[in-house]
Amino acid sequence: MIIPFLDLKKINQAYEQGLNEKLHSVIDSGWFIMGQQLSTFEKNYAKFNDTKHCIGVGNGLDALILSLKALNIGAGDEVIVPSNTYIASWLAVSYVGATIIPVEPNIETYNIDINLIEEKITSKTKAIMPVNLYGQACELTKIMAIAEKHKLFVVEDNAQAQGATCKGKLAGSFGQINGTSFYPGKNLGALGDAGAITTNDDELTSKVKTLRNYGSQVKYYNEVKGYNSRLDELQAAFLDLKLEKLATENYQRVEIANTYLHKLTNEGDIILPKLAQDCTSNYHLFVIRTNRRNDLQKFLQEKGIGTVIHYPVPPHKQEAYADLNFKPTDFPLASLIADTCLSLPIYPGMESNQIDYICDTIKTFYA
Ligand SMILES: *Cc1c(COP(=O)(O)O)cnc(C)c1O
């Protein structure tokens, strides 16, 4: 049996007829940037995410950069970010010229450890950027309370957790302004690059709408030095179609995760993912940990099962961040996760015999 880590072809083929109809309606409209498709999707995603506004942008990284820009965060300011994240979270802080203050994860949830945040707050701290990693919402109510106490902004990196919740409230709706990504491999994936900002704040909405479009609200009149980061009509139309099934697809992922959790309990030295109290996951990824990670990955590969490491090198060890002079030993938990984590296949449309095969193969490895 061959089971790819992610079958984007299969996922999108399920929408083929609808996607074709959307393509033709966009061609027929003759309008390709900032039109009706975008405003419809923005309205529907805001509704899905339970925020007043959604502002489509070019990708998830831009969503975070423009969010920080809209809050006037820049040189001299400090932003608290997790040490265990995809490098995009760090890059957004770097691009606005602010200083990255990494905080280690909780070793059970892999998300930022809320007990380590306050000791990193200084007079220069302007914001906390929690990352809802692997699809699990961070302990966002507690993070919001810390932020309120110290008068800090919260900017959620919600690229991976569309639909996850903390105490029943949606990830991406806690921070003053939040970014998400519709990169093809995300739970709501475009057929190209796309991202969005979610917020309840009218003024921040107006700022990012200006920033994403060359700093202009009225064509050829530029108030600020903006960017070109727009979500185009075609991707917006595709996303709006796929959004209808996002909740169902997230539920399918949860079901697969529950099967893994059930079948892999007490298997070898495997550490299964754990949820923080009152937090849910959309299971964007199903990440296990084992000291025999490389051998297990190789074994599964030989048996036709694709897996991926999220992520093999934490940001503080990346060559790109050599200038910050972190020591490799600085964030041991981020390093431990990088050295032991392995993501198993999880996506809508996976058959139960495929999940059984994966679990049986893992049992064979440990037997
Ligand atoms: C995917 C991702 C991003 C960036 O999204 P792009 O659309 O690829 O720019 C940011 N943060 C996290 C945690 C991500 O997984």
Q: What letter does residue 276 receive in the DSSP assignment?
A: P
**Which atom of ligand 1 is the closest one to the Cα of 89?**
11
Please state, in angstroms and rounded to a whole number, the distance separating the CA atoms of residues 85 and 78.
Answer: 17
As beta bridge partners, residue 148 has none
Q: Whose CA is nearest to atom 6 of ligand 1?
A: 60
Please state, in angstroms and rounded to a whole number, the distance separating the CA atoms of residues 197 and 71.
Answer: 13
Q: According to the model, what pLDDT value does residue 31 have? A: 98
Residues 6+ apart with CB under 8 A from 10: 349
Ligand 1 near 195 CB (within 6 A): yes
Nearest to residue 198, comparing CAs of 216, 218, 182, 220? Answer: 182
Please state, in angstroms and rounded to a whole number, the distance separating the CA atoms of residues 366 and 296.
Answer: 9
Q: According to the model, what pLDDT value does residue 123 have? A: 98
Locate 286 and state its tokens: 């199903």
Ligand 1 near 188 CB (within 6 A): no
- CB-CB contact of 125 with 152 (8 Å): yes
Q: According to the model, what pLDDT value does residue 265 have? A: 97
Please state, in angstroms and rounded to a whole number, the distance separating the CA atoms of residues 314 and 306.
Answer: 22
- CB-CB contact of 301 with 5 (8 Å): no
**Which atom of ligand 1 is the closest one to the Cα of 92?**
10
Cβ burial of 123 (10 Å; 0-12, 13-18, 19+) is exposed
Ligand 1 near 160 CB (within 6 A): yes
Q: What letter does residue 108 receive in the DSSP assignment?
A: T
**Which atom of ligand 1 is the closest one to the Cα of 182?**
7
**Residue environment code for 110-121, b if the CB has 16+ CB neighbours within 10 A, otherwise e:** bbbbbebbeeeb
Name the residue of 61, 64, 231, 308 to mutate for ligand 1: max ligand atoms within 8 A of Cβ.
61
**Helix count and strand count (H, E) for the chain:** 12, 13
pLDDT in tens, the chain (367 residues): 999 999 999 999 999 999 999 999 999 999 999 999 999 999 999 999 999 999 999 999 999 999 999 999 999 999 999 999 999 999 999 999 999 999 999 999 999 999 999 999 999 999 999 999 999 999 999 999 999 999 999 999 999 999 999 999 999 999 999 999 999 999 999 999 999 999 999 999 999 999 999 999 999 999 999 999 999 999 999 999 999 999 999 999 999 999 999 999 999 999 999 999 999 999 999 999 999 999 999 999 999 999 999 999 999 999 999 999 999 999 999 999 999 999 999 999 999 999 999 999 999 999 9
| Residue position matching structure tokens 């994936």 | 189
Ligand 1 near 190 CB (within 6 A): no
